[in-house]
Amino acid sequence: MIIPRDLPQSVGMGNDKSTNVNAGNIRNVGNDLLVNYKGNIGDVKFNITGNFMYNTHEILNLEDGIITKGGMEQFVSQEGGKMSSYYGYEVLGLYQVSDTSRIIDYLVKKGLPDRNKYDSRRFTGPGDLMYDDVNNDTIIDLDDRVYLGDPWPEFSYGINLGFEYKGIDFSMFFQGVNGNQIYNISRRYQENAYGDFSFTTKIKESWTPENTNTDQPRVIYGDPNKKPYHIKFIFC
């Protein structure tokens, strides 16, 4: 694996200088299958082509053991895993009024996962996302991030159908993938009251004291918990 590495200042090239080095090993395993058949039924000629591919990879070793990328370190590559896997927070549901013990600047009850203990400027309230406290210290911080999936398909497949009749031909092609996840980052903006982005109709399902049976957080500017990368926006 070719990975950028910062150069020491002793090389005399100033700050923020880096070079690419071979600092890791990765193993790829896969198989391809292609099948084609041509024939005719009277004046109708046809051909069918199908392909199937299996591929997977594993990081065998890294110089630092783990690499995170992205502005919020939302992509992770680590030994035993896959490159640029999604890294973030599991969502347990939404906080309800019964989960708080103070009306103004809501205070999360003792024993529940609480972002406020990590950053006192943020006030978690009813309708906000409740994240999984992975290490059971009742504080939601960077140590609670987990693997959420990866963008690499395990299987790819396709089929091509072609027909010809007296100089007129017709063809169609289908393809697909399986085994990967998609991070829909646009939902981060379109389902939150954030800036001047165009909202989706999902915003109508937002939590309110009268509408508590929903998975859509309350309408508020951004995320008071500052957790933009979580399982809610990842799809299989």
Whether 31 is in a domain gets the answer: yes
Number of domains in the chain: 2
Cβ neighbours of residue 143 closer than 8 Å, sequence gap 6 or more: 134, 135, 137
| Element at 5 (helix H, strand E) | strand 2-6
Residues 1 and 117 in one domain: no
Structural domain boundaries enclosing 107: 90-144+184-236
Residues 108, 52 share a domain: no
- Per-residue model confidence (pLDDT) at position 62: 87
Tell me: do 1 and 49 sit in the same domain: yes
The per-residue pLDDT for range 204-233, each reduced to its tens digit, is 899 999 999 999 888 877 666 665 566 677
Q: What is the pLDDT of residues 24-57, one digit of tens each?
A: 899 999 999 999 999 999 999 999 999 999 999 9
Work out the burial of residue 164: count CB atoms within 10 Å of its CB; fewer than 13 is exposed, 13-18 middle, 19 or more buried. Answer: middle
User: Is residue 121 in a domain?
Assistant: yes
pTM of the model: 0.74
For the stretch 132-160, pLDDT in tens is 889 988 888 888 889 999 999 999 999 99
Say if residue 105's pLDDT is above 60.
Answer: no
Tell me the C-alpha distance between 25 and 37, whole Å: 40
Each residue of 63-83: pLDDT tens digit?
877 777 766 678 888 899 999
Question: What is the C-alpha separation between 79 and 27, in angstroms, rounded?
Answer: 11
